[in-house]
Amino acid sequence: MIVLNESILVQKPIESVFNYTSEFSNIQNWDPGVVSSVKKSLGDVSAGTQYDLILKYGPFRPKMQYVVTEYEPFSRVVLKGKGTSYSATDTILFIQTPSGTRIDYQATIEFSGFANIIEPLLVPVIKRIGKIAIQGLEKTLNPDFNFPRKGKMFSSGSNIIDYIADHTILPGMMMFSKFGYAIGKRFRTKNTDILYGKRVVITGGTSGIGKAAAFELARKNAFLTIIARNREKALKIQREIIEQTGNTHVDFLVADLSLMADIKRVSKQLAEKKKTIDILINNAGALFNERMETKEGFEKTFATDLLGVFYLTQNLIPVFCKSGGARIINVSSGGMYTQKIDVNDLQNKILPYDGSKAYARAKRGIVILTELWAKRLKNKKIVVHAMHPGWVDTPGIESSLPRFHSFTRSILRTPQQGADTIVWLACAKEPGLCSGWFWLDRRPRETVVFPWTLGSQIKDHTLWNKLEKLTRRF
């Protein structure tokens, strides 16, 4: 059984909100998972009113019948639905608030037959669809809330491709390659947005994907600050960017982002020097094939790829709040699909160390933090997104995963292709209207493919609390 719980606030009187939402033939207007909903009963909506629905799950179009079982005007509606191998109960509560109406929406879904066997695979997909549907209802009832629905943002062709990529192994992996980038490119418009005057901070901007993103951000007239570990490399990149783009608003700060003391120092420098930051791109990351610890006592993969990202971002939130519309972009990895976060072994001490798995677990943690930040920063006009760049030919991949690099070299993306979604998330309108999503090739994607990688709210908040505790002493 799957239980979905969502709440939204609507700036309209409770009567109109109730009348619209309880008329279930309207659901096709706000739920992208519904192709059509036809009222089969005559007269006004009441207990006993029936609806026939056609749903949309990728290329599939299953049918479902709903009936209103409880109908209490302006306070409560309950509907029960039944399909071939599943049933659902939707309970919708309406509460008057000083500014309008709150809707509490609960859906309980049960499976039978073959669907019951594969339920663990369906959980993340259905939860994501449910969240998008309620966000669609919020957009429909709040005319000024321009939340981008996936069905509107992207063509049906790209939705089918995304479904296949997210739910099949080999085709999904191939979408990480340069061929996946070429396919995705067919469904997107040219990125013509500029960033003039926007203060952008990017970590790891001296090589690979970060370097490619830095050049493109500079071409879009951003006021750019690069955080780098090596002063000579940073100075060289700064000069190259200025010479090649003509943008003189490029500087850098030096810090080892595996060291919390360095992060604390550079955070203070940014707060004092920049006053406001409009965009933070947490791009720096590293994969270590042997377990090592920093001089502060943290396992190096964990410190660089997860703890340091948390600490830097948390330190800069007061600066983001001054922006009036800041964005945080966290660079993850497709490898995170293979791992779940282990809150009892964040520093990779218990099991034999595997650099690739440690890296993937840290990148899974980045996705979890993205969703947590999105919720916590919702009222501060700060949006947070995670993305993965696909398989990219970078010096880091070549040195840390030589066999993988040798085997896949012919299909790897260029750093510019890997950086494309980072730059788009930084400046395009659509990602500024939503938060907490995970992106590949400018399209939102699922975060869970394998059921054993699915976490829980308890583990997510345990992760947050442990990271907070570890950084508190700095």
So which residues are the catalytic ones? 359
Judged by phi (left if over 0) then psi (alpha if -120 to 50, else beta), residue 66 lies in beta
CB of 266 within 8 A of CB of 234? no
Q: Alpha carbon of 171 to those of 266, 328, 353, 393: distances in Å?
A: 42, 30, 29, 20
Unique residue bearing structure tokens 């006021």: 223
* Cβ-based neighbours of 188, under 8 Å, separated by 6 or more: 441, 442
Length of the chain: 474
C-alpha to C-alpha distance for 104 and 357, rounded to whole angstroms? 39
